[in-house]
Amino acid sequence: MKVLFVCLGNICRSPMAAAIFNHKVQQRGLPYQGDSCGTGDYHIGAPADHRTLTVARKNGVQVNHAARQLSNDDLEEFDYIFAMDKSNQFNIQRLPAAQENKHKIRLMREYDPKGLGEVPDPYHGTLTDFQDVFEMLDRSIDRFINELQSKSNS
């Protein structure tokens, strides 16, 4: 079971999301795999933003990351594809393989128990914005993993 987290630059939100997901599934001993990518090509090969690294570390999550761009093949390869915001979702849906894989493409905060919305781009923000993003992702991913587990147990 493979889960892809997608943002714009693949240096702030989606690397944090994939690291949180991988941390949680490892803790629970679940055979799931998380990865991330960006719809844009600005930061290909770059590590995660230093604020993503700081906030993740503060919350006990390790991030090992090199940015990459979303490809059409990703839509075939992954079982779930989470867009951080509607603009990312729109760009994912424009790829040719999106037609047959529409059901895989979701907005991350569909799973947020505190409510719907987008995971806002923190790139021009402060460390507090990155912490807010961490908390949204943490809540949403917890709920997503709980649902995966209850599906696999039923």
Chain residues that interact with ligand 4NP, rule: CB under 6 A: 7-13, 38, 42, 121, 123
Give the residue numbers marked as catalytic.
Answer: 7, 13, 121
Could you tell me the two tokens for 134?
Answer: 């961490």
Burial 133-142 (b: 16+ CB within 10 A, else e): bbebbbbbbb
- Check if the beta carbon of residue 126 is closer than 8 Å to that of residue 12: no
Q: Which is nearer to ligand 4NP, 30 or 95 (CB)?
A: 95
- Smaller CB distance to ligand 4NP: residue 87 or 146? 87
Alpha-carbon 61 to chain mean position: 14
Residue of minimal CB distance from ligand 4NP? 9
CA angle 142, 109, 65 (to 5 degrees): 70
Beta-sheet pairing, 105-107 with 33-38? unpaired
Q: Measured in whole angstroms, how far is the alpha carbon of residue 54 from the centre of its chain?
A: 17
| Least separation in angstroms between CB 107 and ligand 4NP | 14
Whichever of 87 and 93 has its CB closer to ligand 4NP, that residue is 87
Beta carbon of residue 119, minimum distance to ligand 4NP (angstroms, whole number): 8
Shortest Cβ distance from residue 9 to ligand 4NP (Å)?
3
